[in-house]
Amino acid sequence: MVRLLKIIILTLSIPCILSCSVFATPVLTGLELVITVKRCNLRSAPDTSKNNIITVLFQNDKATILDISSVKERLWYKVKTLKNVGWVSAYLTILDEKSIDFILSDLIYKRALIDLKKYYPAKYFNLYQAVMKYYSEKEFNSLFLDQKDIKPEGKYLEKLIFSASPLSIKKQNKQHKDWVPILVNEASLKKGKIFYEENKQYFERAEKETGVATSDIIAILNWESRLGKYKGEYDVFKIFINQYFHIDEIEFELFQAGQYKNDGAMGRTAALKRIKKIKKRALNNLAQLLIQAKTKGFNPKTVKGSWAGAIGIPQFMSTSMKFAADGDNDGIIDLNSIPDAILSVATYLKQHKYKERGREYAFKRYNASNMYVRGFNLYSEKFFNLISKNEITSDPVTTSKKNVDCF
């Protein structure tokens, strides 16, 4: 009877074990992975026992996936290296996103129906692996069912082509101008004063809770979105989907069209390195958007931002949304809400060593551009002087001198 019971239990457990592999095994078998840590163990079984170590793998070592298993909520790959077969923890790896041999007459992004999992299995699972602690397989797959969310069309396609173009840097440099006199002037300071007076209670709360000067908070909001006037009209989810999954084939199409032969175009080797960085940022931002949506309770597909993916009044990237805060205690964090934007900016600066290393250091974490920091400083100081009689307690000029050697 006991033996029969054991057989029944084992039989019932098999579908559960197999269900953990249904998502990945057929799709990922034969793909290569890359070790992302300095060193890790290749094991004879998918567990962390000291007695099952076959050999040590090192950063950037590659192996071919044979199988996948989930044991005690830890994901494992069975892999084949040049000399051994064994198991390695999935969290110490990333799937190798090899270049696809695109066919110009049949580009994936132009197809009537796109199946990201089918056509981009490595990218698809790298994204899933980044969020799988927060999403079930069913929830994750459902995010990509609507074709309008994953097909680059209209203004989204235009911006993706601009991003992928070997002429993009030249065009951006040509458009470059000094924004300081445009954003820091008498008119912008007067608008800032009105904005402050209308939202004084939220600035006071933010300054009290974080120690960040009101003038520094408003300087950032003025520069980022002109105090909420320009927040962006793009679906951020779609921006990052396009950049991560489709930018390679857009680049291929531009290459075939001879774009690299134009004056001022980057060399293709340098351009492909730039594309790789864009994809890496897109993956990180898309993963964080999905994680924050799950933990903070919002729909990731409704978030609006700039064509580069910056969100709301403070123009946070998704990777910065962990610093977003509820400024009016309504139980909802919305970066298009003025109270939330104010406290979120203050929280970001505080967490980036505003007090410990000085305001310029924290500004640089927000945006590394020297022009950007110069504009912040100038607006903050002029704004402080404009309303210094209106009970602002933190002197930005004094704060700016603190720990200046760390800048």
Q: Which of 66-80, 163-177, 297-311 has the highest mean pLDDT?
A: 297-311
pLDDT digits (tens, 9 = 90+) for 285-309: 999 999 999 998 889 999 999 999 9
Cα-based distances in Å from 318 to 127, 152, 344, 407 = 14, 20, 13, 25
DSSP H helices, 80-235, are 116-119, 121-131, 137-142, 147-150, 154-164, 168-175, 180-183, 186-198, 200-210, 214-225
Which residues neighbour 271 within 8 Å (Cβ) at sequence distance 6 or greater?
A: 166, 251, 260, 265
In this predicted model, what pLDDT tens digit does every residue of 236-287 receive, in sequence order?
999 999 999 999 999 999 999 999 999 999 999 999 999 999 999 999 999 9
Structure tokens at 75: 């994901």
Instruction: Write the pLDDT tens digit of every residue in 204-213.
Output: 999 999 999 9
CATH class of 177-232+314-406: mainly alpha
Strands 74-80 and 304-305 come out as unpaired
Q: What is the pLDDT of residues 12-44, one digit of tens each?
A: 333 333 334 445 456 788 899 999 999 999 999
Q: State pLDDT tens for residues 116-165.
A: 999 999 999 999 999 999 999 999 999 999 999 999 999 999 999 999 99
Sign of the torsion formed by the C-alpha atoms of 309, 315, 321 and 326: negative
* Backbone phi, psi, residue 113, to 5°: -125, 130
Domain range list for the chain: 14-95, 104-164+233-304, 177-232+314-406
Range with the lowest mean pLDDT among 161-170, 368-377, 383-392, 394-403? 394-403
Q: Both tokens of residue 322?
A: 């962990």
Whole-angstrom CA distances from 74 to 193, 196, 312, 406 are 53, 50, 36, 41
Please say if the pLDDT value at position 392 is more than 90: no
Chain position carrying tokens 């699972």: 125
- What pLDDT is attached to residue 176? 64
pLDDT for position 175: 66
What dotted CATH number matches 14-95? 2.30.30.170
As a whole number of angstroms, the distance between CA 205 and CA 207 comes to: 6
Place of tokens 């390695």: 88
CA dihedral (163, 243, 313, 317) in degrees, to 10, reads -110
User: What is the chain's length?
Assistant: 407
The separation between the first and the last C-alpha atoms of the chain, rounded to the nearest angstrom, is 74
Pairing mode, strands 93-95 and 32-35: antiparallel
Query: What confidence score (pLDDT) does residue 291 get?
Result: 96
Q: Write the CB contacts of 197 (distance below 8 Å, at least 6 apart in sequence).
A: none
pLDDT in the model for residue 389 = 62
> Position of tokens 């700016």?
400
β-bridge pairing 234-235 and 93-95: unpaired
Question: Which helix (DSSP H) or strand (DSSP E) does residue 385 occupy?
Answer: helix 370-386
Q: Residue 93 in contact with residue 34, Cβ under 8 Å?
A: yes
Q: How many CA atoms lie within 13 A of 264 on its CB side?
A: 9
Alpha-carbon torsion (253, 255, 261, 262), positive or negative? positive
> Can you list the positions of beta strands (E) in 244-371?
304-305
Position 264: which residue type?
A: G
